Amino acid sequence: MNDDEPVLMHTEGHILRITLNRPRALNALTHSMVRRIDEALTLAAGDDAVAAVVIDGAGDRGLCAGGDIRSIYEDARAGRRASVDFWRDEYRLNARIARFPKPYVALMDGIVMGGGVGVSAHGDVRIVTERSRVAMPETGIGFVPDVGGTHLLAAAPGELGTHLALTGRAVDAADAILCGLADHFVPSHRLADLTNELSRSEEPAGTTDIVRRYASAAPEGELASHRGWIDDCYAADTVEEIIDRLVNSGLPAAKETAVELLGASPTALKVTLAAVRRAKGLGSLEAVLDQEFRVSCRAFTGHDLVEGVRARIIDKDRTPRWSPAEAGDVTAADVARHFEPLGEQELGLASV
């Protein structure tokens, strides 16, 4: 094992340990990392000596902050298509994780965003800690939640998933569990002992029981106390009406949320709302990933993704110039275009 590799893999007893190893980049995913994880799962699935897979991130800041946004920005500006190829393999990996035949244990310690959610929240044993901050923050850069994020958020109670999808807010351990993005809270200082015990277990069926012995109640979250206004405001049919309800709710927290939404990409907000609502009716993760691939490909060729990354990551001036600049100027046709079939370029997971 070479410690300089972006993905470290080694067998510890009866588990395959996968560690994302780009701590300076908060373990952001590259195409080669996605391929490496996929190869590792192929080997683990067929290895009788491996009872479970455990994935974590190097360093002390988080599991994974998402995809390599700078690379996507440079790719889009240059008119290349490498990012589309990356998403194709990434979304296939997300589906594979969800259907992996052995326990897939994700240690969602620290920051877990975007693509980090994709390599963790589709697993069947998802562990958060007191340091966890889980988010799908795409609308802030002119993009739309992907990696199966709209599938997960569409299944959240009430309108909590819509709230998180549109705002891109990060949630703590309790709220991640409430929203169905995680299963168990384990204090970070117990993760090493938990992993050691998992490595000694030969029985895949016993993985969840081991995790439960280390788990405890998460510190109280925030979302449960805000369900009233969240469910009411986000039940509206349009982004404009959602913002109007937030502004007129009379609640400071709701008004603050309206300000957040007014700063995000209007196109991304409208497409995201449509994507989450459509995901509820699609059923399978594979069908939703097919939809997200269409949306991502269309957003990749649009204006707001490049502009959003420029404003937040490249120039860091925090003043994106969205086009259109107002939600009312984003037409139904603009939104619908993101969901149109890609012909021969379709991801095609639902048809496999």
- Classify residue 316 as left (phi > 0), alpha (psi -120 to 50) or beta: left
CA separation, residue 256 to residues 17, 139, 232, 260, 263 (Å): 42, 16, 16, 6, 11
Paired with 185 in beta bridges are 128, 216
* 138 catalytically annotated: yes
- Catalytically annotated residue among 75, 109, 138, 175: 138
CA separation, residue 79 to residues 88, 299, 302, 305, 334 (Å): 17, 13, 11, 13, 21
* 146 catalytically annotated: yes
Alpha-helical runs (H) found in 4-132: 31-45, 69-77, 82-98, 115-118
- Catalytically annotated residue among 57, 62, 66, 67: 67
**Contact, 179 vs 171, CB < 8 A?**
yes
Indicate if the alpha-carbon torsion angle 153, 31, 17, 112 is positive or negative. Answer: negative
d(CA 78, CA 286): 30
CA separation, residue 322 to residues 301, 304, 308, 310, 338 (Å): 14, 6, 8, 11, 17
Q: Residue 46 burial by CB count (10 A; 0-12/13-18/19+): exposed, middle or buried?
A: exposed
- Helix H or strand E encompassing 232: helix 227-233
- Catalytically annotated residue among 62, 66, 110, 115: 115
**Beta strand 7-12 pairing with 15-20:** antiparallel
d(CA 21, CA 5): 7
Q: What is the DSSP track for 80-115? A: --HHHHHHHHHHHHHHHHHT-SS-EEEEE-BEEETH
- Catalytically annotated residue among 56, 68, 75, 146: 146
Question: Counting runs of H as helices and runs of E as strands, what totals does the chain give?
Answer: 16, 9
Active site amino acids: 67, 115, 138, 146
